[in-house]
């Protein structure tokens, strides 16, 4: 895993979906949200609403955001790829406070490797 993280932060696209991650401390809903986020491809983004729809709970987009804030494996479970329909949305990334600059750095790093612009670029709060 360390080698894959080094590759990722060097700018190489890495698929972390094959790693077995322990989510047993979370509710079934939270586990479903985090597992579904693992299917969002490198360099792509989806909205909280789209993620809620993908798990079959189209009105639960705020609960989706709360589940993402509990992500115990930032980067491995790419919650930074989930954005608001009107901006970047939030990001805890394993930190106690929101770190939107780190989220934008990850999105821009992935964009630079794929050429796919993250939806949230125009709404970068920095």
Give the pLDDT score at 95. Answer: 54
Q: Is 2 inside a domain boundary?
A: no
Q: In 1-126, where do the E strands start and end?
A: 46-47, 82-83
Give the pLDDT score at 55. Answer: 96
| Phi (first) and psi of residue 111, to 5 degrees | -60, -40
Q: State the pLDDT confidence band at 105, using cuts at 50, 70 and 90.
A: confident
Model confidence, pTM: 0.81
What integer is the mean pLDDT of 62-72?
Answer: 93
- Concerning whether 92 is annotated as a catalytic residue, the answer is no
> Percentage of residues in the chain with pLDDT exceeding 90?
55
What residue numbers bound the domain in which 90 lies? 26-113
Q: In whole angstroms, what is the distance from residue 50 CA to residue 68 CA?
A: 14
Q: In whole angstroms, what is the distance from residue 81 CA to residue 48 CA?
A: 10
Q: Which of 79, 83, 100, 107 is catalytic?
A: 79
Q: In whole angstroms, what is the distance from residue 103 CA to residue 83 CA?
A: 10
What's 82's domain CATH number?
1.10.10.10
Q: Is 57 inside a domain boundary?
A: yes
Instruction: Count Cβ neighbours within 10 Å for each residue of 58-85 and write b for 16 or more, e otherwise.
Output: eebbebbbebbebbebbbbbbbbbbbbe
Q: How many domains does the chain have?
A: 1
2-58: pLDDT as tens digits: 899 999 999 889 989 899 999 999 999 999 999 999 999 998 999 999 999 999 999
Give the pLDDT score at 57. Answer: 96
Q: In whole angstroms, what is the distance from residue 20 CA to residue 17 CA?
A: 8
Q: In whole angstroms, what is the distance from residue 113 CA to residue 109 CA?
A: 7
Is pLDDT larger for residue 9 or for residue 102?
9
Q: In whole angstroms, what is the distance from residue 2 CA to residue 23 CA?
A: 20
Q: Is 12 inside a domain boundary?
A: no
Q: State the pLDDT confidence band at 76, using cuts at 50, 70 and 90.
A: very high
Give the pLDDT score at 54. Answer: 95
Q: Is 18 inside a domain boundary?
A: no
């Amino acid at each position: 895993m360390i080698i894959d993280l080094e590759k990722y932060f060097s700018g190489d696209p890495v698929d972390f979906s094959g790693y077995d991650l322990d989510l047993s401390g979370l509710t079934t809903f939270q586990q479903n949200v985090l597992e579904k986020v693992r299917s969002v491809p490198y360099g792509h983004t989806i909205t909280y609403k789209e993620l809620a729809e993908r798990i079959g709970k189209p009105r639960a987009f705020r609960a989706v955001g709360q589940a993402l804030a509990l992500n115990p494996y930032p980067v491995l479970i790419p919650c930074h790829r989930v954005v608001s329909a009107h901006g970047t949305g939030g990001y805890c990334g394993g930190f106690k406070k929101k770190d939107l600059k780190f989220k934008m750095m990850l999105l821009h790093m992935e964009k630079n490797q794929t050429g796919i612009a993250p939806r949230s670029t125009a709404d970068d709060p920095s």
